[in-house]
């Protein structure tokens, strides 16, 4: 699994995809937080907070993470290298986890530079350090979990098709529906308010407030585990 993980990381940064994802993510979030006028602009908000990052990032991830995961298995299936991969002395679960963890590593690389936003806001506070550290930590934990779910969904979809564009579109759509689709249905149809607990947003908002509830952790870990399980089954079928 470790060798596959290293191979995936190397392939990310030996092509433009890894650098492109990092650059686009940082540019979009940086522009909204420090350049564009609006409620998300830290300099115009009147208080020290990087809450805007936690509002923007899940939407940016909807496009960037599918761009990462669309090649996980689709490329292997189309090129025929999936057969070579399956002959390696490694379990199906390890294959899936190797690629999933590589996606998580790239997500981590994208989030680390945003700590500069926190440091800058911390320094700009009046007095210095007048920022809700607990909510900030919760926001980062929530973003990491959202990125994990998107990556797990992307890996599953990628294992089902050889077309990377199809994988990208379906993954982005599925992530969008899981993130905000259930909230929309709950608002639209009376009596279905319980559906908000099925979607990501309700659990993300809870963690973003700095409240680490075990139910939210179980939700995120459970969805990720379920996607990894079905991806493993999908890969196992390709051995037959």
Express each pLDDT in 151-189 by its tens digit. Answer: 999 999 999 998 999 999 999 999 999 998 878 887 777
Residue with the larger pLDDT of the pair 192 and 157: 157
Q: When comparing pLDDT for 79 and 148, which is higher?
A: 148
The pLDDT score that the predictor gives to residue 130 is 72
> Where in the chain are the domains?
2-237
183 touches 201 (CB < 8 A) = yes
Percent of the chain with pLDDT over 70: 98
pLDDT greater than 70 at residue 129: no
pLDDT 10s digits, 55-69: 999 999 999 999 989
CA distances from 200 to 193, 218, 223 (A): 14, 12, 10
Cα(155)–Cα(97) distance, integer angstroms: 10
Output the pLDDT for position 209: 79
**Whole-number Å distance between alpha carbons of 73 and 78:** 9
Q: How far apart are CA 101 and CA 96, in angstroms?
A: 9
Radius of gyration of the chain (CA): 19
Residue by residue, DSSP assigns 27-72 as HHHHHHHHTS-STT-HHHHSS---HHHHHHHHHHHHHHHHHHHTTS
Say if residue 31's pLDDT is above 80. Answer: yes
**What is the DSSP secondary structure assignment for residue 232, as one 8-state letter?**
H
pLDDT tens digits for range 102-114: 999 999 989 999 9
Q: Are 65 and 162 in contact (CB under 8 A)?
A: no
Q: Which two tokens stand for residue 18?
A: 């890894």
């Amino acid at each position: 699994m470790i060798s596959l993980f290293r191979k995936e990381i190397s392939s990310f940064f030996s092509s433009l995809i890894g650098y492109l994802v990092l650059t686009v993510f940082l540019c979009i979030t940086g522009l909204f937080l420090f350049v564009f006028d609006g409620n998300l602009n830290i300099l115009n908000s009147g208080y020290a907070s990087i809450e805007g990052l936690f509002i923007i990032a899940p939407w940016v991830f909807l496009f960037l993470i599918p761009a990462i995961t669309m090649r996980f298995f689709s490329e292997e299936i189309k090129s025929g290298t999936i057969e070579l991969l399956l002959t390696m002395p490694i379990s199906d679960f390890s294959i899936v986890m190797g690629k999933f963890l590589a996606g998580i590593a790239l997500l981590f690389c994208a989030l680390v530079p945003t700590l500069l936003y926190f440091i800058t806001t911390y320094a700009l506070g009046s007095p210095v350090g007048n920022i809700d550290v607990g909510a900030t930590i919760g926001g980062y934990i929530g973003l990491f979990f959202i990125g994990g779910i998107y990556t797990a969904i992307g890996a599953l979809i990628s294992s089902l098709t050889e077309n990377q564009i199809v994988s990208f579109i379906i993954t982005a759509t599925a992530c969008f529906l899981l993130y905000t689709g259930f909230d929309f249905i709950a608002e639209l149809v009376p009596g279905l308010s319980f559906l908000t607990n099925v979607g990501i947003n309700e659990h993300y908002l809870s963690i973003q407030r700095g409240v680490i509830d075990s139910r939210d952790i179980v939700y995120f870990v459970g969805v990720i585990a379920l996607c990894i399980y079905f991806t493993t089954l999908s890969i196992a079928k390709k051995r037959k």
